[in-house]
Amino acid sequence: MKKKLIVGNWKMNGGLQANAELLAGIRQGLPAALQCGVGVAVPAVYLAQVQALVQDSPIALGVQDVSQHEKGAYTGEVSAAMLQEFGVRYALVGHSERRQYHGETDADVAHKAQAALAKGITPVVCVGETLAEREAGQTEAVVKRQLAAVIQHVGHCVSELVVAYEPVWAIGTGKTASPEQAQQVHAVLRAQLAAATQQADRVPLLYGGSMNAANAAQLLAQPDIDGGLIGGASLKAADFLQIIAAAQ
C-alpha cells in the first residue's frame, strides 16, 4: 500500500521555545517503525531552528510559501534557492489563506510550484472551493481550474507534485468535509492528474480542513486520500501524533 503523508501547517504560530517543545514531543512520540511520511511547514523565520530540531529524525522540513521569482528586488519574499539551503523538502503553494489575503492567482501559484520544483523542493499545491462556490455547485470546476493552471505550467513534472484538497469552508472551522465529500473531490483530482501523467497514482492527494484525531482514520481510509494537511491539530504533539497513528 502507498505510504500516507501527514504534513502539519503551523501557519503564523510558534516561537523559539514553543517550537522546541512541540518538536521534542513529536519526536518522542513517533512510532519506532514509522509507516508514513511526516512533515512540518513552519514560518520561514524558524527554518534554521527547525532544521536543527528535525535533524536525524524522519520529520521533513516544509515552508508555507515560496517566491515565484529567482532573486532580486522582491521585498519580503523568500526564494526557492534560499529554502534549498536549509534543506526544505516541501513548500505549500496556493494555500487559500494566501489566495484570499494576499491575492495570489492561479498563475502565481503555478509559477511558485515551478520555482520550487526547479530547486528540488516538492510543491504542495493547495486547491479548494469556498462555501459559496460549493453551494453554487461549482466545487469541481473550481478545483479543476486551480489544478489545471499548475499542470499546464509544470509540464512533465506533474508526477512530482503533492496536491492538497482543502475546502475553504472546512479550514479552521471545525466543519470537516465528510469522507464521502472529500473522496468525491479527490477522485476528480486523480482523474485530472491521470489525464496529464501516467504516474498519477504516485501523486499524494492530501485532505486538509479540520482534520483531527477523531476524524483522521475515516478520511484516510478513502481510496484517493493519501494523507492530510493539518492546521490547528498540528500544534499539539499529542493531537498530531494521533493523526500520524491513524496514517500508519
Ligand X SMILES: O=C[C@H](O)COP(=O)(O)O
User: Which residue numbers are catalytic?
Assistant: 95, 166
Q: How far is the CB of 198 from ligand X (least distance, A)?
A: 29
* Residue 39, annotated as binding a ligand: no
Stretch that binds ligand X, among 21-29, 98-106, 188-196, 202-210 (CB under 6 A): 202-210
Q: Can you tell me which of 139, 210, 215, 222 binds ligand X, judged by CB under 6 A?
A: 210
Distance CA 212, CA 55 (A): 26
Cell numbers given for 68: 515565484
- In DSSP terms, which residues pair with 62 in a beta bridge? 41, 90
* Residue 232, annotated as binding a ligand: yes
CB of 182 or CB of 233, closer to ligand X: 233
CB of 120 or CB of 172, closer to ligand X: 172
Distance CA 208, CA 173 (A): 12
What is the residue type of 46? Y
Tell me which residues in 75-104 interact with ligand X (CB under 6 A).
95
55: which residues sit within 8 A by CB, 6+ positions away? none
Tell me which residues in 130-189 interact with ligand X (CB under 6 A).
166, 171-172
CB of 211 or CB of 237, closer to ligand X: 211
The angle subtended at Cα 116 by Cα 230 and Cα 23, nearest 5°, is 35
Q: Which helix (H) or strand (E) holds 139?
A: helix 139-154
Q: In degrees rounded to 5, what are phi and psi of residue 116?
A: -65, -50
- By CB under 6 A, is residue 106 in contact with ligand X? no
Q: How far is CA 145 from the centre of its chain?
A: 18
Q: How far is the CB of 206 from ligand X (least distance, A)?
A: 9
Distance CA 100, CA 26 (A): 31
Stretch that binds ligand X, among 31-39, 44-52, 185-193, 203-211 (CB under 6 A): 203-211
* Residue 210, annotated as binding a ligand: yes
Q: How far is the CB of 56 from ligand X (least distance, A)?
A: 26
What is the residue type of 168? V
Q: Can you tell me which of 63, 209, 240, 241 binds ligand X, judged by CB under 6 A?
A: 209
Q: Between 22 and 41, how does the x/- string for binding to ligand X read (CB under 6 A)?
A: --------------------
- Is the Cβ–Cβ distance between 124 and 92 less than 8 Å? yes
Closest CA to 163 of 1, 5, 2: 5
Tell me which residues in 213-232 interact with ligand X (CB under 6 A).
229-232
* Residue 8, annotated as binding a ligand: no
For residues 75-90, one letter each, b for 16 or more C-beta atoms within 10 angstroms of the residue's C-beta and e for the rest, the string is eeebbbebbeeeebbb
> Where does this chain bind ligand X (CB under 6 A)?
9, 95, 166, 171-172, 208-211, 229-233
Annotated binding site: 9-11, 172, 210, 231-232
